[in-house]
Structure 1
Amino acid sequence: LKEGLVFKGGTALRKVYFPDYRFSEDLDFTMIKPLTELGEVQIHESLGDVCKSVYTQSGVELTLVDFKQTRDELGEEAFVGKIQYVGSRGHRAGNPPRIKLDITFYEEVILPPNKLPLLHSYSDASECKAVIAAYRLEEMVAEKLRSILQRQRSRDIYDLWYLLKIHNRELDKELIRKVFQKKCEYKGLSFAGVDDFFKPELLASHKFAWEPSMKRQVTDLPDFADVEDDLRHLLNDLF
């Protein structure tokens, strides 16, 4: 299973790039092997095996409580799983917390993934070592840009702002533009210019959802107006 999964999204940024990055409840992966090579049943069984292995090695009880296909177009499949966990100290009152797992086959990974060590700053770090295939930062930026053209998720705005503002000098801008163009072509999207990212109806939606959706994930959440202003300048420089 690990040979086909490429880690991406906010959790990937925190666990393989920036240890102090925002929290996220989702684990997002793109599968680079076709479903014909790795069937739905095998994915389901492999995730169950991982849960058992984690419990054996750490005492943390993981249970795959839900796994379903959410998209069935040939070559563009997607799956969502929910993993319930109980720590070594047992379960407190209420429902155990869950992690959402997204696996998509309908993204094209343009750049060779980076193979990076897991960032794990806890007392068992010496026993919790792994190397994970993850999107390059340029690919993450390009996919966030493409995502913003299609959907309204505040975390895409935040991640894009963070990468372009805080890590601007580390990024290959020409590479971002090329990958973004290919991702738009793959999805059949047109892009006329930077104004496409700032359509009034999209801005209104992001502004409304900004604090409710992000304040639990980011300790010092910047004001949306400041983020919007920064992104206008950063994206005009990029394009």
Structure 2
Amino acid sequence: MIPEIEFKEKARTFNVPISTIERDYAQNWLLAHLPKMAFKGGTGIRKAYIKNYRFSDDLDFTLLEKISFKDLTNKVKKAIQDTKNASGISFLDDVKSEKVKNGYVINIYFRILRSTGDPLKIKMDITNKENEIIINPIQKKNLIHIYSDKINEQINVYTLEEMFAEKVRSLFERTRPRDLYDVWYLHKKITFDKTLFQKKCKHKKVEPNIDELATRKTNYEKTWKRSLQHQLPELPSATDAFDEVIEFLKKII
């Protein structure tokens, strides 16, 4: 494991809480040992495609094969033990897993620098194979690890284009500032695949409605800083990001 001073230096460099760095570090080591699943979401962008993208609290996956709840939980517990042995991170034995509408949620707890108080948490959101459609071929990408110890592992991950399409779809399914931020950032970096987006929407019966989305502007503004300020050194204005995304959506939908 890296020394305590490196955690503190990274926190200063990126102007984020030291707990954000601890979680980012633990996520990397865990990803190197988890069973084969398709990695996606904002953390997938950071860990596979864009170095120094925003930090993230959760790990999002889609299962590539059917697996029972018991078997999945056991595989994750084994991965935690393997990670503990390889990294020296103190993962707790108390793993909380539950079935949810689209798959499973597994909460993993650990300690690195803090020996007292509540442990830090990594939340795994795992979607069942039948509840999501994966259109582009899954990519094998080197795990981006910004720390001085080395992790030479590859991870199975969505294409960036498919993650972008899912993020745009998410705007019409829920109100989470991280989705808005990701769409705001990605629409300036990569080309939007409208056909891919339409297929993703069709699979989950999502009807994009920009007028309805526009009514939720205040909700994004109220939760913007609380949700994202610990993940970024500089946070754009929620109002500006929202307005820019709405204009983008009007052009492509």
User: TM-score higher than 0.5 here?
Assistant: yes
Q: Is the 8 A contact 2:172 2:207 kept in 1?
A: no
Please report how far the alpha carbon of residue 28 of structure 1 lies from its aligned counterpart in structure 2 after TM superposition.
0.6
Match of 2:84 among 22, 46, 55: 55
Query: Given the superposition, is the C-alpha separation of residues 12 and 197 from structure 1 closer, same or farther in structure 2, using an over 3 Å criterion?
Result: farther
Q: Return the structure number with greater relative CO, CA threshold 8 A, min gap 6.
A: 2
Q: Deviations over 1:39-80 (max 9, x none)?
A: 111111111111111121221122352011112xxxxx4111
Deviation at 1:33, TM superposition (A): 1.3
AA at the equivalent of 2:214: K
The offset of 1:164, in angstroms, is 0.7
Q: d(CA) in 1 for partners of 2:197 and 2:236? A: 26
1:27 to partner: Cα distance = 0.6
The residue type paired with residue 81 of structure 2 is: K
Q: What's the TM-score, normalizing by structure 1?
A: 0.84
- Tell me how many residue pairs correspond in the alignment: 217
Match of 1:199 among 211, 214, 228: 214
CA distance in 1, matches of 2:123, 2:206: 28
Give secondary structure in 1 for the equivalent of 2:146: coil
The alpha-carbon deviation at position 210 of structure 1 amounts to: 1.1
Aligned mate of 1:214, from 228, 238, 242:
228
Letter of the 2:231 partner, please give it: Q
Q: Give, in angstroms, the shift of residue 198 of structure 1.
A: 3.5
Residues 1:46 and 2:75 aligned together: yes
1:74 is matched with which residue?
Answer: none
Alignment-derived partner of residue 109 in structure 2 = 84
Aligned mates of 1:97, 1:133 — CA distance in 2: 25
Separation in 1 of the partners of 2:141 and 2:155? 5
Is residue 8–residue 29 contact of structure 1 (8 Å, CA) maintained in 2? yes
What is the correspondence of 1:1-239 to structure 2 with a 5 Å cutoff? 2-3=35-36, 5-34=37-66, 38-63=67-92, 64-71=94-101, 77-87=102-112, 91-105=114-128, 106-125=131-150, 128-165=151-188, 167-168=189-190, 171=191, 173=192, 176-191=193-208, 195-196=210-211, 198-200=213-215, 202-239=216-253
CA distance in 2, matches of 1:214, 1:197: 23
Amino acid at match of 1:69: K
Gaps of 5+ in 2: 1-33
CA RMSD of superposed structures (Å)? 1.7
- Alignment-mate amino acid for residue 22 of structure 1: R
> Counterparts of 1:2 and 1:70 in 2: how far apart (Å)?
20
CA pair 233-181 structure 1, distance change in 2 beyond 3 A: same
- Aligned 8 A contact 1:118 1:130 in 2: yes
Name stretches of at least 5 consecutive residues in structure 1 with no aligned partner: 72-76
Deviations 1:130-167 (A, max 9, x none): 111111111111111111111111100001111112x1
The aligned counterpart of 2:25 is none
Amino acid at match of 1:187: K
